[in-house]
Chain A
Amino acid sequence: MEIISPSEPGKLNILALIIRELFLKKGKGINVKKNFSVGIKAGKMSSTLTFGEGYLEIKNGISGKINCLIEGSLGTFLSLTSKNPFFPFLRGKLKIRGNPVALFRFLKIINSVLRSEK
């Protein structure tokens, strides 16, 4: 999976950089069949992730048409990337708006990333 961003990576916020690093390190084997976008508001930072065939675009802020918005603290969002990504949702620690199918797709991708080797 190619990781792209419209601006230089050095202009991405820390949240976007963390996500970028995660996918750069562990997301190579991820395949996405249908394009979709997820907005993430983690604490005061926000990013938009657009998944497409063979790529992930990462942007600062919430922009464009997103299929779902995930909101919560930065800590809760980071726990998605270090533990079981489904737990924070089951515990109601993250607010979701939009299409739950897109959310489920996103969680499945994160889950695959966490379980993949470098």
Chain B
Amino acid sequence: MYSHDMTENEPSMPDIVVLPENLEEVVEIVKIANEFRTPLIPFATGNNVGGLTIPERGGIVMDMKRMKKIEVDEEDMYMVVEPGITFGELKAYLDENHPSLIYSYPLAPPYTSVLANAILDGLNNLSTRYGAMSEWIQGLEVVLPDGTVARTGGNAVSESWFSRAPLPDLCGLFISWQGTTGIVTKGALMLIPALPFRKRFLILTYTYSSAYHLIMKYSRMRAFDEIAGFSWVAGKMFFLREGTIEKSEDDPEFMLFVEMSGNSEEEIKAKEKLLKGVIKDMKDEVEEPLDVEDMVKTFPEYSKFSEFPTTLDFLLDRGGGLTWIGSYGPNKKWVEGAEGGSKILERYGFPPLLVARSMKEGHYQVLRFIVPFKRQDKKEKRRVRECLKDLSQFLLDKGYIPYKMPSWLAPVVWERIDKGYLQLLKKIKMAIDPHGIMNPGKLGLG
């Protein structure tokens, strides 16, 4: 389980796997790895879709699953979690002990790590309002490659992890660095108040342009918690676990989910009115909103699209492999990106499975192209690699930047990156990890 993941990335065996239980044990292991110049790979649950915990050069895999502490500060609305806490555990814990607070949950299985998702800049259901999950981080506890323990954010001074501001922000040294600068042993993450009423709608659109029109209109209304969707492929795969799928002439292109919450039924009704008002003049391009609760009554499994975290196991039913290029980018290129990326997938013989989300109230967008594939089929794996290469170049051309990028992709991105930025990146890496022991090979940083 430590040598591979569900992606097409090549497996590689670790030399040792260690499972620390607390900070002190982490520090000891890091010091030993540093002394013997041994690669050290942090591993939370191994469910990233980018080969990020594959020990490319062997060494020590540090599996953090035994570090499972969680503390909640209701007054300041944050929690401090260790890396072993999964979304399933977090949700159960909050629902039972702190029902007035919620976190943001991903379109990912309940057994994925909360802290890994945050420090890898994942996107969750409330990212439509609050942005990528790194923006929920209020502070980190980190073990540096020499064994130094550092705390970033407000907790560096205060007893409370109330905010990342106002000190010089060092959290960023460990966000999206894929474990190449240190081992994150704790993270303070923002919680938000749970509102008692909630409703979710599904709107089918017949073109990406009409989907985009709705996404932008809804995003700027500041009334909705989630604005996200899938291409038609997900709708069909949900109903058909096997066999080829094809878009028929009258199929909608995109399934847009919009979720709202409120303090009263009246507030929900008012938001529903806003939602329906936008599509009043678009009847030729979109279907009227469907109440997801009704869909779930008929097909209980449809809750996979409405309750997060979620297991989209129907994607894995097609051969056990799953990979993607997920990217964040500018609004104005979303339609071109969605259409062009879909064509690339089709050209390589894969269904154009796209996941999209409006981020931070419409400041930017997500384009994530997913490729389920047959893991045991070497030819198909090669086709996947070629397809992902083309797709990533195309997305970069559109100004979209991949997140959780696999090792092979980092150099492709660096080719286009600001030279000063790359120098700074390398200087920081060298300053923090001079012997290059931390997750070597990742981010193309040696």
Contacts and interface: CB of A to CB of B under 8 A. Distances in A.
Interface stretch (B232-240, B264-272, B383-391): B232-240
A75 interface: yes
Contacts of A83: 294, 297
A44 B294 contact: no
Interface string A34-51: 000000000111100000
Interface in B196-227: 204, 206
B252 A14 contact: yes
A9 B243 contact: yes
Nearest to B243: A10
A82 B298 contact: yes
Given A20-B239, A22-B298, A43-B204, A11 B246 contact: yes
Contacts of A102: none
Nearest to A80: B298
A60 B236 CA distance: 14
Contacts of A79: 294
Contact of A78 (B243, B252, B290): B290
A43 B203 CA distance: 12
Interface in A77-92: 78-79, 81-83
Interface in A41-80: 43-46, 60-61, 73-75, 78-79
Given A78-B298, A82-B295, A60 B290 contact: no
A81 to B, nearest CB: 5
A81 B297 CA distance: 9
B248 A60 contact: yes
B239 A82 contact: no
Interface residues of A, number: 27
A43 B285 CA distance: 10
Nearest to A12: B248
Contacts of B243: 8-10
Given A20-B239, A74-B204, A13 B250 contact: yes
A21 interface: yes
A44 B288 contact: no
A108 B246 CA distance: 32
Contacts of B251: 13-14, 45
Given A8-B246, A18-B239, 18 more contacts: A9-B240, A10-B236, A13-B250, A14-B204, A14-B235, A14-B251, A17-B240, A20-B239, A22-B298, A44-B284, A44-B287, A45-B250, A46-B250, A61-B250, A75-B291, A78-B298, A82-B298, A83-B297
7 contacts: A10-B244, A13-B250, A14-B232, A14-B251, A44-B287, A75-B291, A79-B294
Interface of A: 8-14, 17-18, 20-22, 25, 43-46, 60-61, 73-75, 78-79, 81-83
